[in-house]
């Protein structure tokens, strides 16, 4: 079977999507959660680039992918800054300890 990059894109996106969301459900370490988010962002980048290619507008998809990388890097930075602050005040990065607000 001859798979083109576009066909593998679907497989890749779904795989990363699954891994990322599984991690968000299971992982308790805040920094690792940010890593999971980054994995999801990879899925989005791949999806956009591939979608651009699929619709014959490679440069459009690539441009979107670029923007996503930039934006989500900022989000990651913000998340890490928050994580440091959490570490300082909660003494841990276990998000299960961040469960004081409930009910």
Partner 1 sequence: MLAGELTVLTIALPWFGALCIWLGGNKAPRLTERAAVAFSVFAALASGALIPFATNQVVLRIPVGGVFGEFTFVPDGLGILLACIATGIGSLAVIFSLDSMRGEKELARYYALVLLFIGAMAGLVLTGSLLLLFFFWELVAFCSYALISFHNDDPKAVAGGIKALVITQIGGVGLAVGVLLTYAQLGSYEFDALLRHSAQMPREILGIIAFGFLLAALAKSAQVPFHTWLPDAMEAPTPVSALIHAATMVNAGIYLLARFYPAFVNVPAWTTTVMAIGMLSALLAALMALTANDLKRVLAYSTISQLGYMVFAVGVGATLASQFHLLSHAVFKALLFLAAGAVIHLTGTRALAQLGGLSERMPFVRNAFVLGALALAGVPLLNGFWSKELILEAGAQNAGMAAFILLLFGVSITALYATRVTWLVFWAPPRETNKVASSNGHSRPKEIGDAPRAMRIALGVLVGATFTSWLLIGGVSEMFARTLTLANVHVLTLFEMMAEIFLTPLTWIALGAVGFGVWLWTARERFANVRASWQFVTRAAENSFGFEWLNAQVVRATMGAAARLRVTQTGQLNWNMVGIVGGFVLVLAVLMMRW
Partner 2 sequence: MMPAFVWLILVLVLAAPLVYLGGHVGRLRQLVANATSVEWETDPPNHLSQWLALGALAVAWIPFTLAARASDAAFALGTLALRFDGIALLLSALALGLGTLVAIFSGAYLRGEKQTEKFFALLLVMVGVMIGLGAARDLFNLWVWFEALAVASYMLVAFQRDERASLEAGVKYLVQSAAGSVMILLGIALVLAQAGTLDLEELGARLVTADSNLLFAALALFVIGFGVKAALVPLHTWLPDAHAHAPSGISAMLSGVVIEAGLIAMLRVMLPLIPHLQGQGNRVAVLFLVFGAINLLAGNLLALRQTEVKRLLAFSSVAQVGYIVFGLGITFWSGQGVGAQGAFFHLLNHGLMKGLAFLAAGALLFALRAGLPRHAPLTISDLAGAARRYPVIAFAFSIALLGLGGLPPLAGFMSKWQIFVAGVDAGNIWIDVLVVFAALNSVLSLAYYAPLVNAMYRGNVSPLVARGTPVPRAMVVPLVVLAVGVVVVGVAPNVLDWLTQPASAALLHSLGY
Partner 3 sequence: MFSGLIAIAIIMCAVQAIRAARLLSSAVWLAGASALTALWLYILGAQQPAVIELSVGAGLVTVLFIFAISISGEEAFTAYPRVPRKLALLLVVGAVALLAVDLAVASGMPRAVDERAVSTLSDTFWNARALDMLVQMVLIFAGVLGVLNLIGHEEIKEVETPGEIQIAQTHLPQVVEPENEELLRV
Does residue 89 touch partner 1 according to CB under 8 A?
no
The helix/strand/coil state of 31 is: helix
Total residues interacting with partner 3, rule: CB under 8 A: 75
Distance CA 22, CA 37 (A): 11
Distance CA 50, CA 72 (A): 18
Using CB under 8 A as the binding rule, whether residue 81 contacts partner 3 is answered as yes
Q: How many residues does the chain have?
A: 103
Looking at the Cβ atoms of 20 and 101, the one nearer to partner 3 is 20
CB of 28 to partner 3, least distance (A): 6
Which of 90, 12, 84 is closest to 51 using CA atoms? 12
Is residue 8 involved in binding partner 3 (CB under 8 A)? yes
- The entry of partner 2, partner 3, partner 1, none that residue 89 binds, CB within 5 to 8 Å by partner kind: partner 2
């Amino acid at each position: 079977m001859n798979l083109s990059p576009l066909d593998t894109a679907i497989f890749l996106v779904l795989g990363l999507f699954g891994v990322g969301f599984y991690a968000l459900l299971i992982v308790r370490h805040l920094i690792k959660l940010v890593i999971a988010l980054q994995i999801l962002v990879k899925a989005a980048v791949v999806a956009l680039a591939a979608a651009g290619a699929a619709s014959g507008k490679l440069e459009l998809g690539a441009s979107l992918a670029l923007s996503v990388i930039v934006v989500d890097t900022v989000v990651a930075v913000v998340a890490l800054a928050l994580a440091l602050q959490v570490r300082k005040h909660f003494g841990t990065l276990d998000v299960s300890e961040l469960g004081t607000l409930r009910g």
